[in-house]
Amino acid sequence: MAAVFDEAYVEAVLRCVEAVPRGRVTTYGAIGDVVGSGPRLVGRALAASGDGVPWWRVVRADGSLPPSHGPRAREAYAAEGTPVRPSGRVAVADAFWQPTPPRPPVVSAVDDEVGP
């Protein structure tokens, strides 16, 4: 059974991921702390909706990724200069970036009133 996520929750997760700078990483748990959930739920939301964001910048607390992500993530790490240990895990202590609560989208108001 596929997980169904609240749109606002998924948007908050994706905005956190989009904010991670090139060459840096954050963890599923750090994003979970910001959006008010656990790391597994963050991972599930990212797996379901994260193709358009730099998903390789989100790693497990030990610097590893799910095995299926390895080859594509390693290419991205090399291109971005992300520090990786000889074991293939990201050097989280050197590359960690702390996410902050995503800012709500800016909404502009338009005055629909006509006349003076």
- The DSSP bridge pattern shows strands 26-27 and 58-59 to be parallel
Structure tokens at 25: 């990483």
What is the reported pLDDT for 32?
95
Q: Between helices 7-19 and 39-49, what is the axis angle to 10°?
A: 90
Q: Looking at the domain assignment, is residue 69 inside a domain?
A: yes
**pLDDT score of 15 more than 90:** yes
For residue 62, the enclosing domain spans 7-95
What amino acid occupies position 85?
A: R
Whether 111 is in a domain gets the answer no
Residue 13, in any domain of the structure: yes
CA-to-CA separations, 10 to 18, 22, 75, 92, in angstroms, rounded: 12, 21, 26, 24
pLDDT of residue 91: 97
Tell me whether residue 116 is in a domain.
Answer: no
- Tally of structural domains, the chain: 1
pLDDT tier, 24 (very low <50, low <70, confident <90, very high otherwise)? very high
Q: pLDDT per residue over 52-96, tens digit each?
A: 999 999 999 999 988 888 889 999 999 999 999 999 899 999 999
The CATH number of whichever domain residue 69 belongs to comes to 1.10.10.10
